[in-house]
Structure 1
Amino acid sequence: MIELKNLSFTYENSNEAKGQLRSIDLHVKKGEFVILSGRSGCGKTTLTRILNGLCPGFYPGKTAGGYFLNGEDALQMPVHRLGTMVGSVFQNPRSQFFATNTTDEIVLGMENIPLDRTVMQVRLKAVCKQMDIEHLIERKIFPLSSGEKQLVAIASIYAMAPNVIVLDEPSANLDSEATVRLGALLYRLKLEGHTIILSEHRFHYVRDSFDRLVFMEEGTISAVYDREAALSLTAKQMLSMGLRPFAPPPFRVGGAYLQNQHNVLQVSAISCMLDNKQILEAVSFAAQSGKILAIAGPNGAGKSTLCRIITGLYRAMGVVSFDGEILKRKRRTQKSFFVQQDSDYQLYAPTVLDEFSLGRKSTVKLRETALSQLRKMGLESFTQRHPASLSGGQKQRLLLALAAASGRKLLVFDEPTSGLDGFNMHLTVNLLKQLAGEGRCILLITHDIELIAEAADSVLYIEGGKLRYHRNVLREMRGDDENS
């Protein structure tokens, strides 16, 4: 089915070793489910781009070796033909949309094949029903949450029914229920005979369906594990490889969070409507300094909207107070630092180091603070790189460093661990705990069960725009060598 022979790739005008491929040899059989794993920058995304033709078709570079698909030389195949054989779901769904309407986006790939209109209508209904996204039909794409956009992107590829499906971290923006449904969908596709290549940091939702785990380091394949061997790796072994375990640490939520004298953030009766739709309804809660509050809930529940209101980015009904002071919108922006989920919206400077002095006077002390935070996030060697040239995980870590260096007392992070491997996820957890230890109030919007288990003190759960509960996190002990 897929044959990679001594395949190498170097991006054009790049002297960086990260992201390149060196002497890749891999054979994938028809109907096989293969996970590509490894630390950020190991070459997983580049390999997926080779498979779907984006390298060198869209990302110029030098290719050596061979890539054969069903016996044909895929490197010589026209990209439009390769695109009908290999379907792709990108890490950032925004980068693959062409339409502004969800229905148009889902049928676009089928139109390009092309399929008969009657067939397209049947497939559209079937795909949306199987993925439980019928509520997303005929919606504008831009107002959707990141998770909802990801589901639309997956549906558009599923509807095309390609022989090979390549996915780059498709679970990064999905809530727990949608992630379980994605796992079930991938298992169904495997049973139908599709070949699946999944580049991923989170493995728990496919632990029962994958066939092999390919471990990559520095642009090459270091090891290949069959399913039994992969599942026998301990949590400690996987962490040493920079990977997340197949099951997150166990935890549960306990008694209701109680008001106390350490509460510095007080949110009262926040309500919001957008496009005549009730997004939030009378949401009230409190948060402490020195603690980490995780805000969880389904995709589209209103979590990001709530935090944009708290940080002064959106208007809404209700009251937000901090340190006993009722804050108007402008004052909220001065007191808080909000890290968006899509890092490209928040990075503007010509170099990584220059990001720290945007809107601030550049001083020796600020430079020292910036370098210190970059070291903590493993980015000290990227000070003169343009932020746009960083990987998704590196951009996330840069924004974490910027938040830490801001000096603000209220820090809000929207999915801070999306796109992060096990090693960098733990770096992030340690930084968040350190920031909380400095007396800051930390809010995390997240679907990442592992992040909640490792870092959160309490969980605020929102569903349908309403607060369902605010409870403390209770952690359970797990042996160092246990994997599940």
Structure 2
Amino acid sequence: MGYVNINDVFCTSKTGYKILKGINLNVEKGECILLMGLSGSGKTSLTKLINGIIPHFEEETDFVGEVLIEGESTRNISQYKISEKVGSIFQNPKSQFFNSDVEGEIVFGLENMGTDPELIKKSLKKTINNLNIDRLLGKNVFSLSSGEKQILAFASIFALNTDIVVLDEPSSNLDMDTIETIKNNIEIFKKEGKTIIVAEHRLYYLKDIIDKAYYIDEGIIKDCFTQEEIKLFNSKKENNLKIRTLSTPKLEVLEKEFNKNDEYLCEDLSYTINGNLIFKDINISLNRGEVLGIIGKNGIGKTSLLKCISGLMKKNTGSVFFNNKLLNNKDRLKNTYLVTQDINSQLFTLSVKEECELNLPEDRLNQVDVVLNRLGLDKYKDKHPMSLSGGQKQRLTIALALLSNKEIIIFDEPTSGLDFKNMIIVSEAIKDLAKKSNKIVIVVSHDYEFLNTVADGIYEMV
């Protein structure tokens, strides 16, 4: 028997959808395993079985079979007791924060468990030193970049010192430098003897850490690979499995030069908030039919730039022109559709189809099924948007952008949580949006693999 045992588990939603089908998985103490596979294949549900979210919190999901931690069934252990053994790091770290200050967040779990104050101080000091996070101390959690928030999530679990660590898409929306930090943190967990389960689409940074990789497809474990076997994968094997590259991605798209003769211009854009300069003198240009990729480190101001050019942030200087017309904030809002990182904030109705039909003229309703089919969402059209996996939600927001009648379409990290197959589908959809629908398209992304397939030019914020 392993340290974590999943025996003949079938997991089903209240609507009857079979999420997991006969899963058998044994994880030894100190082992690091990877769960890989298409979006919606059941990876996240598997992590929720291990950390007790299923069945203790997710009441709309049932399972039969047995999930054991150190020989004890998670059905019979309270969530409080499970959390003493299992620490979780989620795709969106904001969902697990409880404090506004960094130090308070790091020690929250220990305080909540009634740990001796002297032990809390020692744990805090060890966490700061081992993870090298002095730069975060004294900061407000809400002022942190996406990368810093994920590093803080790691710190809070490191301080908690659980024997098992479950990670769900920990590299989403992170730049290459922060992913390297995340890799180092996972290695620290492993050296500490932790048992680690990672569900992930970006694979290259994990290939030297994991002991085994399990390939999940439609709720079934189809294959298991050792680290040595994973390292021997070539592009053909990756394509057959429809997984992301195991080689470190390199950006192959050239920089887009600013041209005042282009149809869409952002000239000398600057933005300051509360006396802090977020970005200064941004100059970008492109024409209809082009896709411009914007890159830069976490916290450099990319999302703020998108909000400024789309008219959501008013206190900016500089100019935005479209077809030689100066666009004020009202014009920018009228002409621009922005797909944000926080996809949940853009979903409002009770079904996927209703979401697509919302505010759509009657003469265009026939386009909904076509777009859903193209993005592989047609079989989910009657499902509640919030019941979709992260990758499925991401594709739904792409569908909404495709159905919008805006001239300027902007995407902020559109491949967050997407596997290789769906990354290509989204890439082709965005390219068609630009070229066939003759739109202005701007994409912010840290995903070089995606940008190499979709972007005509790159602008780097520094």
1:58 CA displacement:
0.3
Q: Pick closer, same or farther for the CA change 1:78–1:183 going to 2, 3 Å.
A: same
Between the aligned partners of 1:267 and 1:117, the Cα distance in structure 2 is 53
Between the aligned partners of 2:129 and 2:409, the Cα distance in structure 1 is 39
The corresponding residue for 1:192 is 192
Correspondences of 1:260-339 after superposition (within 5 Å): 261=261, 263-315=262-314, 316-339=316-339
The corresponding residue for 1:15 is 16
Indicate if the aligned counterparts of 2:253 and 2:455 stay in contact, CA closer than 8 A.
Answer: no
Q: Pick closer, same or farther for the CA change 1:101–1:366 going to 2, 3 Å.
A: farther
Correspondences of 1:200-211 after superposition (within 5 Å): 200-211=200-211
Indicate if the aligned counterparts of 2:93 and 2:149 stay in contact, CA closer than 8 A.
Answer: yes
The corresponding residue for 2:420 is 422
Between the aligned partners of 1:10 and 1:253, the Cα distance in structure 2 is 43
Indicate if the aligned counterparts of 2:9 and 2:64 stay in contact, CA closer than 8 A.
Answer: yes
1:340 and 2:340 correspond: yes
Q: Which runs of 5+ in 1 are unaligned?
A: 464-484
Q: Give the structure-2-normalised TM-score.
A: 0.94
Which shifted more, 160-169 or 67-76?
67-76
1:171 and 2:182 correspond: no
Which shifted more, 106-115 or 198-207?
106-115
Between the aligned partners of 1:380 and 1:4, the Cα distance in structure 2 is 32
The corresponding residue for 2:7 is 5
1:327 CA displacement:
0.4
The corresponding residue for 2:159 is 159
Correspondences of 1:114-125 after superposition (within 5 Å): 114-125=114-125
Aligned residue identity for 1:336:
T
Indicate if the aligned counterparts of 2:254 and 2:457 stay in contact, CA closer than 8 A.
Answer: no
Which shifted more, 448-457 or 37-46?
448-457
Q: Give the structure-1-normalised TM-score.
A: 0.89
Between the aligned partners of 2:186 and 2:370, the Cα distance in structure 1 is 42
Indicate if the aligned counterparts of 1:24 and 1:220 stay in contact, CA closer than 8 A.
Answer: yes
Indicate if the aligned counterparts of 2:353 and 2:382 stay in contact, CA closer than 8 A.
Answer: yes
1:97 CA displacement:
1.9
Query: What do residues 194-231 of structure 1 show as CA deviations (whole Å, max 9, x unaligned)?
Result: 11100001101111111111011221211111112222
The number of equivalent residue pairs is 457
Between the aligned partners of 1:332 and 1:239, the Cα distance in structure 2 is 40
1:259 CA displacement:
2.0
Q: Pick closer, same or farther for the CA change 1:377–1:77 going to 2, 3 Å.
A: same
Correspondences of 1:15-94 after superposition (within 5 Å): 15-17=16-18, 20-60=19-59, 61-94=61-94
* Secondary structure in structure 2 of the residue aligned to 1:240: helix
1:114 CA displacement:
3.5
Q: Pick closer, same or farther for the CA change 1:360–1:67 going to 2, 3 Å.
A: closer
Between the aligned partners of 2:130 and 2:413, the Cα distance in structure 1 is 27
Query: What do residues 96-135 of structure 1 show as CA deviations (whole Å, max 9, x unaligned)?
Result: 2222333322210121234333433343344345445433
Percent identity of the aligned residues? 34
Aligned residue identity for 1:345:
S
Aligned residue identity for 1:328:
N
1:357 CA displacement:
3.5
Query: What do residues 287-320 of structure 1 show as CA deviations (whole Å, max 9, x unaligned)?
Result: 2322221111111110000000000011112211
Pairwise CA RMSD: 1.9
Q: Pick closer, same or farther for the CA change 1:182–1:433 going to 2, 3 Å.
A: same
* Secondary structure in structure 1 of the residue aligned to 2:16: coil
Query: What do residues 441-460 of structure 1 show as CA deviations (whole Å, max 9, x unaligned)?
Result: 21111111211222222222
1:142 CA displacement:
3.4
1:250 CA displacement:
4.5
1:136 and 2:136 correspond: yes
Correspondences of 1:460-479 after superposition (within 5 Å): 460-463=459-462
Between the aligned partners of 1:5 and 1:15, the Cα distance in structure 2 is 21
* Secondary structure in structure 1 of the residue aligned to 2:461: strand
Between the aligned partners of 2:200 and 2:401, the Cα distance in structure 1 is 26
The corresponding residue for 2:232 is 232
Between the aligned partners of 2:132 and 2:441, the Cα distance in structure 1 is 33
Q: Pick closer, same or farther for the CA change 1:175–1:347 going to 2, 3 Å.
A: same
1:98 and 2:92 correspond: no
Aligned residue identity for 1:294:
G
Query: What do residues 327-351 of structure 1 show as CA deviations (whole Å, max 9, x unaligned)?
Result: 0101101111100111111111222
* Secondary structure in structure 2 of the residue aligned to 1:221: strand
* Secondary structure in structure 1 of the residue aligned to 2:54: helix
Between the aligned partners of 2:175 and 2:114, the Cα distance in structure 1 is 33
Which shifted more, 217-226 or 114-123?
114-123
The corresponding residue for 2:146 is 146
* Secondary structure in structure 1 of the residue aligned to 2:228: helix
1:36 CA displacement:
0.4
Aligned residue identity for 2:273:
L
Q: Pick closer, same or farther for the CA change 1:256–1:460 going to 2, 3 Å.
A: closer
Correspondences of 1:366-445 after superposition (within 5 Å): 366-438=364-436, 439-445=438-444
* Secondary structure in structure 2 of the residue aligned to 1:142: helix
The corresponding residue for 1:355 is 355
Between the aligned partners of 1:381 and 1:87, the Cα distance in structure 2 is 34
Indicate if the aligned counterparts of 1:249 and 1:454 stay in contact, CA closer than 8 A.
Answer: no
Between the aligned partners of 2:35 and 2:253, the Cα distance in structure 1 is 33
Q: Pick closer, same or farther for the CA change 1:290–1:237 going to 2, 3 Å.
A: same
Q: Pick closer, same or farther for the CA change 1:4–1:159 going to 2, 3 Å.
A: same
* Secondary structure in structure 2 of the residue aligned to 1:75: coil
1:254 CA displacement:
4.8
* Secondary structure in structure 2 of the residue aligned to 1:76: coil
Indicate if the aligned counterparts of 1:248 and 1:450 stay in contact, CA closer than 8 A.
Answer: no
Query: What do residues 162-206 of structure 1 show as CA deviations (whole Å, max 9, x unaligned)?
Result: 111000001002111010111111112112211110000110111
Q: Pick closer, same or farther for the CA change 1:422–1:291 going to 2, 3 Å.
A: same
Q: Pick closer, same or farther for the CA change 1:353–1:256 going to 2, 3 Å.
A: closer
Aligned residue identity for 1:353:
K
Which shifted more, 430-439 or 300-309?
430-439
